[in-house]
Structures are given as C-alpha cells and as structure tokens.
C-alpha cells in the first residue's frame, strides 16, 4: 500500500468517497487556481491551463463591466481594471466580445455627453473612458464614438471655444479637431 492510500489518512478517505458526493470546484476555477500557482512559481502556462484562465477572467471582466451599468465615469471601473491587471500578471490575453460591446456603448455615451455640451468635466470623462478601453480591451469598436464626435466637430453651431474644448477628446479618439469640410 502506498503512503498516499494508507487507511485512515485523508487521501484514503478521499479516494474511498464516491465522486458524486465530493464537492467539486468548477473547472475554470481549478484552472485559474492552478495557473496562478504556476505563475507564482514562474512556470509558463500550457495551453490546457491558459484557456480556462482566460475564460474565467473574461467572465469576471464582463460581470465587472455590466455592474458599472454604462457609467461614463472612469473611476467606476476599478474592478474591471483589477481584472485586466490580473490577466497581465497571469500573462494571458483578455478578450471578450461582450465586454468590448459593453465598453463601446459606455464610451459612445460619454462622447455623446461631451459632444452635446463640451464642458471640461464631460470631455475629461470621455477621454478617461477611451483610455480605459485601451487598457482593458484592445478590440473595442470606437467607430460610433468617432463618428459622433466627428459630426459634433463639423456642426456649424459649434464655436471655436467648443472645438478647442473637444480637441483633446478628438486626439484621444484619433481624429482631427478641425475636420475637412468635404462636399458629399
């Protein structure tokens, strides 16, 4: 009899207990725990562990973003930032189409507020949301926010003061603060 299966030890009791009566952790949690232990040990993660860790972190990111309910305040996204930091520490990619969509909608909302009334606080909040998107998920579609800001910058009633206020947000979104007036 091996030392692992000697009667009376916790190993023997575990082996003698039928599997349905054992309490089990979900496989993604086990993978994440194992991956964290290997990362601490400096061991590179194999693909069989990388997948569960990425899936678990993606679900946590989605939940963190959903809990923010589309807030346009970048400070509300502390938990999402913590998940992204954990993914970087684990050395895994954090990709989630649902998380990218939630973030894109929040950014578009923040840009809509800033474009509708170019006040310093609204512009700074929108800039912070764009920076958050680049930090969390590189696959966030910024197209709707870019189009909304471009339309606002081309509006005839936007004065130079409004254009100057929106200029930092335009640069953050990769736009010119002075779009060309091309006849359509």
The mean pLDDT of 79-105, rounded to a whole number, is 87
User: What confidence tens digit (pLDDT) does each residue in 117-171 have?
Assistant: 899 999 999 999 999 888 886 689 999 999 999 999 998 888 888 889 999 999 9
Establish if 86 belongs to a structural domain.
yes
| H or E stretch covering 125 | helix 120-136
The boundaries of the domain holding residue 153 are: 27-32+48-172
Q: How many CB atoms lie within 10 A of CB 179?
A: 15
pLDDT at 19: 57
The mean pLDDT of 91-115, rounded to a whole number, is 90
Per-residue pLDDT for 65 more than 80?
yes
d(CA 128, CA 131): 5
Q: Which among 152, 151, 142 has a CA at the least distance from the CA of 172?
A: 142
Cα distance from N-terminal residue to C-terminal residue, the chain? 85
Establish if 126 belongs to a structural domain.
yes
* Confidence at 111, pLDDT banded by 50, 70, 90: very high
Q: In this prediction, what percent of the chain has a pLDDT beyond 70?
A: 71
**How many domains is the chain built from?**
1
Query: What value does the mean pLDDT of the chain take?
Result: 80
Lowest mean pLDDT: which of 12-26, 66-80, 115-129, 169-183?
A: 12-26
Establish if 21 belongs to a structural domain.
no
Establish if 71 belongs to a structural domain.
yes
DSSP letters spanning 136-153: H-TT---HHHHHHHHHHH
Tokens read off for 134:
């680049």
Q: Which among 106, 177, 182, 183 has a CA at the least distance from the CA of 145?
A: 106
């Amino acid at each position: 009899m091996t030392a692992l299966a000697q009667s009376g030890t916790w190993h023997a009791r575990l082996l003698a207990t039928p599997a349905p009566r054992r309490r089990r952790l979900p496989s993604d949690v086990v993978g994440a725990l194992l991956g964290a232990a290997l990362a601490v040990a400096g061991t590179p993660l194999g693909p069989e562990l990388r997948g569960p860790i990425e899936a678990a972190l993606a679900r946590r990111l989605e939940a963190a973003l959903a809990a923010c309910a589309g807030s346009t305040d970048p400070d509300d996204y502390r938990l999402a930032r913590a998940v992204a930091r954990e993914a970087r520490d684990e050395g895994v990619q954090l990709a989630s189409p649902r998380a990218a969509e939630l973030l894109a909608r929040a950014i578009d909302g923040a840009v809509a507020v800033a474009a509708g009334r170019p006040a310093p606080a609204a512009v700074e909040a929108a800039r912070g949301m764009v920076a958050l998107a680049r930090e969390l998920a590189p696959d966030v579609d910024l197209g709707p926010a870019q189009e909304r800001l471009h339309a606002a910058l081309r509006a005839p009633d936007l004065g130079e003061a409004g254009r100057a206020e929106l200029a930092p947000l335009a640069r953050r979104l990769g736009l010119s603060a002075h779009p060309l007036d091309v006849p359509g």
